[in-house]
């Protein structure tokens, strides 16, 4: 059977996932809280991005429209996302001119009065609390260095779980110096901090009781396993004491905190924040996007001025870096606006087809089938 080669043409369609499309899809899937976190992360990592602070409701509406026009105009002068070969050709001058026409100046906010109601106080961490006590303890310079090293190895539970030999090797200090300063650190608040195991943690806390702690210390040292099993008769027999007395001592031990550092752990309450609100106005339902708390982004004025001088700059590495960060910033702004528009249109369609649900309740939900 003879075999041969031949050429043929085939027409097919493929979905090309550009970086911009991938980012838009990713942002669309995020919840409101996750979106805010993603924006904050990008603000920290991308120096070209900055947050646009509003001063009034009118300014907010105006700046929102301006930011949208920035993105629209930037799209016409930035990269062609469907053609990666054009991504290195960026029209800097056109982009700067569009930004200068539409972006509000930050100089107008210099006299803005700070709203102290919007400032959230930062919670004191365990490390901060301990370092504050170091400054009050009268250590000399060498002792303070050792104390700070020990505190740096205290975990969120308030324990030091790293072996002193490993700490000494890593920090370049003597093990004996660590052993000498540890008792002073263990005197700090909260009681029990700086312990290396459960027994040491309980013993530190036992020293803070005003009554005679001799029997209490003996119970912790010798009968901790029986205490875990609540085997009070065995403890009473070994210590030659009445069971009632042993039970009272065990109650004291059980009231101690085995993880004293937990009181400084922040327990933030995360609330579910809606992306849209639906209001009934007269006989109609109105969809409104929730823009509260969502950072408004723009390109930094500092980098706008830097972009103007690109022709005079011969540093190729600097140009590539700014170009990459600028493209990332524009894509993010556009993706956020695309997400908001998509959510608005989807919600608007849902409200249109599910009017009976809003009027009469869940029993009147209709299946959302294409073409209905």
Same domain, residue pair 233 and 341: no
Percent of the chain scored above 90 by pLDDT?
Answer: 28
Same domain, residue pair 98 and 174: no
Q: pLDDT tens, 308-347?
A: 666 555 567 777 777 788 888 888 888 888 888 899 999 9
Same domain, residue pair 236 and 134: yes
pLDDT at residue 71 greater than cutoff 60:
no
Domain contains 111: no
**End of a domain among 228, 246, 264?**
264
pLDDT at residue 112 greater than cutoff 80:
no
Print the domain residue range for 62: 19-104+273-360
Same domain, residue pair 208 and 165: yes
User: Which residues are within 8 A (CB) of 95 and not within 5 positions of it... i.e. 6 or more apart?
Assistant: 74, 77, 78, 307, 326
Residue 160 near residue 195, CB atoms below 8 Å: yes
Tell me the C-alpha distance between 309 and 96, whole Å. Answer: 11
Please give the pLDDT value at position 361: 87
**End of a domain among 264, 299, 327?**
264
Domain contains 7: no
Domain contains 64: yes
Residue 73 backbone dihedrals phi, psi, to 5 degrees: -70, -35
Same domain, residue pair 285 and 356: yes
Same domain, residue pair 199 and 149: yes
Instruction: Write down the residue that tokens 């700086």 correspond to.
Output: 194
Residue 70 near residue 298, CB atoms below 8 Å: yes
Instruction: Compute the average pLDDT of residues 85-114.
Output: 45
Same domain, residue pair 100 and 133: no
Which range, of 8-22, 156-170, 192-206, 341-355, averages the lowest pLDDT? Answer: 8-22
Same domain, residue pair 259 and 162: yes
- The number of folded domains in the chain is 2
Please give the pLDDT value at position 72: 43
Same domain, residue pair 79 and 189: no
Residue 288 near residue 308, CB atoms below 8 Å: no
Residue 187 near residue 241, CB atoms below 8 Å: no
Q: pLDDT tens, 8-25?
A: 787 877 767 776 677 778
Supply 350's token pair: 């849902």
| Strand 49-52 with 296-299, pairing | antiparallel
Grouping H, G, I as helix, E, B as strand and the rest as coil, residue 348 is helix
Domain contains 114: no
Same domain, residue pair 69 and 187: no
Same domain, residue pair 257 and 278: no
Domain contains 365: no
Domain contains 6: no
- 3-state DSSP helix/strand/coil percent for the chain, to nearest 5? 55, 5, 35
DSSP state of 294: P
**End of a domain among 205, 237, 264?**
264
Regarding predicted confidence, which is higher, 357 or 120? 357
Please give the pLDDT value at position 367: 86
For the chain, give the mean pLDDT.
Answer: 77
SS3 sequence, 95-163? Answer: HHHHHHHHCCCHHHHCCCCCCHHHCCCCCCCHHHHHHHHHCCCCCCHHHHHHHHHHHHCECCCCEECCC
Domain contains 167: yes
Residue 188 near residue 194, CB atoms below 8 Å: yes
pLDDT at residue 132 greater than cutoff 90:
yes
Helices (H) and strands (E) in the chain, counts: 16, 4
Domain contains 113: no
Same domain, residue pair 299 and 169: no
Cross-strand bridge partners of residue 299: 49
């Amino acid at each position: 059977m003879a075999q041969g080669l031949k050429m043929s043409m085939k027409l097919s369609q493929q979905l090309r996932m550009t970086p911009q499309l991938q980012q838009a899809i990713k942002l669309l899937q995020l919840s409101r809280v996750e979106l805010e976190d993603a924006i904050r992360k990008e603000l920290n990592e991308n120096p070209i991005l900055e947050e646009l602070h509003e001063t009034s409701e009118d300014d907010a509406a105006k700046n929102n429209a301006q930011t949208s026009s920035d993105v629209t105009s930037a799209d016409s002068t930035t990269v062609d996302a469907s053609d990666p070969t054009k991504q290195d050709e960026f029209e800097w001058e056109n982009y700067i001119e569009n930004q200068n026409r539409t972006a509000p100046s930050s100089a107008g906010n210099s006299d803005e009065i700070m709203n102290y109601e919007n400032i959230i106080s930062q919670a004191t961490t365990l490390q901060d609390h301990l370092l504050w006590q170091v400054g009050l303890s009268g250590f000399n310079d060498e002792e303070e260095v050792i104390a700070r090293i020990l505190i740096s190895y205290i975990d969120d539970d308030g324990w030091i779980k790293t072996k002193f030999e490993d700490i000494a090797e890593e920090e370049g200090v003597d093990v004996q110096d660590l052993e000498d300063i540890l008792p002073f650190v263990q005197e700090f608040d909260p009681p029990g901090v700086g312990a290396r195991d459960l027994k040491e943690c309980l013993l530190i806390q036992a020293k803070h009781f005003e009554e005679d702690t001799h029997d209490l210390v003996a119970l912790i040292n010798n009968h901790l396993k029986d205490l875990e099993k609540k085997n009070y008769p065995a403890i009473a027999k070994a210590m030659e004491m009445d069971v009632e007395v042993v039970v009272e001592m065990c109650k004291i031990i059980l009231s101690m905190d085995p993880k004293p550092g937990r009181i400084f752990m922040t327990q933030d309450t995360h609330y579910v924040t809606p992306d849209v609100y639906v209001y009934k106005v007269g006989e109609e339902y109105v969809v409104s996007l929730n823009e509260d708390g969502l950072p408004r982004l723009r390109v930094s004025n500092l980098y706008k001025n830097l972009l103007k001088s690109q022709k005079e700059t011969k540093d190729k590495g600097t140009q590539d870096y700014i170009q990459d960060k600028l493209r990332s910033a524009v894509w993010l702004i556009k993706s956020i606006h695309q997400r908001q528009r998509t959510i608005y249109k989807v919600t608007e369609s849902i409200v249109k087809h599910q009017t009976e649900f809003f009027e009469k309740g869940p029993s009147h939900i209709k299946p959302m089938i294409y073409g209905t």
